[in-house]
Structure 1
Amino acid sequence: MEALRAVQILNPSGEIIMPRPDHPRVLCVANQKGGVGKTTTTVNLAVALALHGNRVLVVDLDPQGNASTGLNVPHHAGVPDVYDCLIDNVPLADVAQPVEGIPNLFCVPATIDLAGAEIELVSVVARESRLQRAITAHPEKFDYVFIDCPPSLGLLTVNALCAAQEVLIPIQCEYYALEGLNQLINNINLVRQHLNPTLDVSTILLTMYDRRTRLADAVEQDVRNHFGSKVLEAVIPRNVRVSEAPSYGQSVMTYDPGSRGATSYFEAALEIAMRGVNTGGAA
């Protein structure tokens, strides 16, 4: 069974195709709480979609550069990165790097320079829409653009929310995860009112689910009752393989494609792809 799952996920023949949306879908992966699986979710969904026939761009907007690490894209000081696009108007195409071993997947890395961008953006003209302009001006059209946000609600996250049509919120199956959610939803509503009226919280993904605890079950029920159909059926379990993969510069998809973590992210990616087709692009 594990071998069959691995072949399905790695898709070496290219036969298994996830449906492509009729227009580019820009998803901002946001949650101001740290450690809920934003970067892990961004990397694994992007790899799953790219392995199954979609053209995908990952924009790493977190100064820690974890998404760049997870995709094994160089992001040391001196590498052209998303900071250059935001502050110096360098075209996104000039800083996007192809991800080794995964066709159709590109990554715009984040270096430590990005840590200062939050302050530098304050005095820049049209500071909230810098990223949106950079993505729109990219000559190639991608099926999916995933923006990995920092764990805060500063100007970098506001840029991501202005550039996106959809917000994907990973929620850790623990009590504290629900506490910060109201603040995030309020901020998204503010951005929708003043900057980006088309923004929609389209997808909620439950992560770090531990079946052995009653708390995880209670959190899942709460989230499903509150958000309804926005919550994906696929749930990401606590899985050692998911945690190990970044230390090898890989997603769990390529590190251990037969693991429960890889299967869960594959199912989540398929669900996102199907929703996009069924509703004309916006899940």
Structure 2
Amino acid sequence: MSTSEAEQSGLPELPGLEVPEQLLKPTSSGPSRQQEPAPNNPPAEGSKPGDIRSAEAVSTRNYQKFPIPAPLSGHGPARVIAMCNQKGGVGKTTTSINLAASLAGYGRRVLCIDFDPQGALSAGLGLTTHNVSTIYDLLIGRISDPHQAIQPTEFENLDVIPANIDLSAAEVHLVTEVAREQILASIIRRIADEYDLVIVDCQPSLGLLTVNALTASHGVMIPLECEYFALRGVALLIETIDKVRSRLNPSLELDGILPTMFDGRTLHSREVLDRVFEVFGDKVFDTVIGRTVKFPDASVAGVPIVEFAPNHPAAQAYRQLARELVARGAAA
């Protein structure tokens, strides 16, 4: 967006948001799936992606805009999505947990890979992270079979490969390895046929672990806090995605940007959301995640918010995100 366009819109100019055109191409469907005929549940009028593109409309949108996904007749091969943003505290782990739980609730087999040394995703699902095999053991070759690290959760169709603080040493260990950027991809290939979706919850950095996640993935989701500094950092992430596409993973796509922590009561939050819509267009999900204290409450309980408070608007939003992801062709 040019300076003159920004001035006409009445919004503050936010620099550094040039987006490579190749990242804005339409999202492909990824690995093919066989689905049963869709149920008689068409989306509501005006619910196509891109129809609602303003912060003012967010507060009035309903959460039944996308149809319930049709049942699958089989599982696999998995589509891999990296949940990525180098800024911390933007909702990557919360989104990974609740999107995975929502898709699992719709009959999809989902594997979450905790790729953050803080192990927040593992803790958020109530899993043990010490004295167990983790993603670190797979990365350094201490174990070779991914099944040894997979832990089932209390939720049907949802499994996790956990992480703990040991993962913080992985980058030092991997720096001398051959094809070090592709180690995670080789791990996922061994189990891809058993799942419909693999979600990699990345750490808040653009280091070797994140590059591994991007190299292993078909698509990237960017949770973006509706705050100015979070918005400014997206340009660097977009540049990294573009480099990985051109050098390591030509099939990598930007699946979408998910606005999180939106507070419609503040002008700043609305201005940032409007600018995201204007810059990224249809690459922004229609679903917007609001700010609520229910998220930390659910984390303390060790369950997704879709189970902790299933009727809460935040839980409804994540179920809509799952339906939207399927409608966009980014999930089975």
TM-score (norm 1): 0.89
> Deviation above 3 Å: which 4+ runs of structure 1?
16-23
Structure 2 residues without counterparts, runs of 5 or longer: 1-62
Residue number in structure 2 paired with 1:90 = 144
**Alignment partner for residue 27 of structure 1, among 55, 62, 81?**
81
Q: Is the 8 A contact 2:214 2:244 kept in 1?
A: yes
Question: What is the distance in 1 between the residues matched to 2:127 and 2:301?
Answer: 12
Q: Distance in 2 between matches of 1:91 and 1:33?
A: 32
Equivalent of 1:116, from 159, 164, 169?
169
Q: Is the 8 A contact 1:72 1:250 kept in 2?
A: yes
**Would you tell me which structure has more helix in proportion to its own residues?**
1
- Say whether 1:208 aligns with 2:261: yes
Match of 2:286 in 1: 233
Percent identity between the two aligned chains? 46
> Matches of 1:117 and 1:266 in 2, distance apart?
34
Asked if 1:257 corresponds to 2:310, the answer is yes
- Partners of 1:147 and 1:210 lie apart in 2 by 27
2:221 matched to 1:165? no
Instruction: Supply the RMSD in Å over aligned alpha carbons.
Output: 1.8
Task: Give the aligned partner of residue 3 of structure 1.
Answer: none
Query: For residues 233 and 111 of structure 1, what CA distance do their matches in structure 2 show?
Result: 34
Aligned residue number for residue 80 of structure 1: 133
1:13 aligned partner: none
Q: Per-residue CA shift, 1:3-29, capped at 9, x if unaligned?
A: xxxxxx9xxxxxx65565985221000
Matched residues in 2 for 1:167 and 1:106: separation?
A: 20
Could you tell me the TM-score, scaled by structure 2's length? 0.76
Structure 1 residue ranges without an equivalent (≥5): 1-8, 10-15
Letter in 1 for 2:203: P
Structure 1 partner of 2:235: 182
**Range with greater deviation from structure 2 (215-224 or 17-26):** 17-26
**1:256 Cα deviation from its structure 2 partner:** 0.8
Partner Cα separation in structure 1 for residue 126 and residue 144 of structure 2: 22
| Deviations 1:139-168 (CA, angstroms, capped at 9, x unpaired) | 642111000000001111010000001000
Residue by residue over 1:119-149, the C-alpha shift from the partner in whole angstroms, topping out at 9 and shown as x without a partner, is 1110112110000000011164211100000
Match of 2:100 in 1: 46
C-alpha contact 2:76 2:195 (8 A) present in aligned 1 = no
Do the aligned partners of 1:83 and 1:117 also contact (CA within 8 Å) in 2?
yes
1:27/1:166 contact within 8 Å kept: yes
Amino acid across the alignment from 1:45: L
Per the alignment, residue 271 of structure 2 pairs with 218
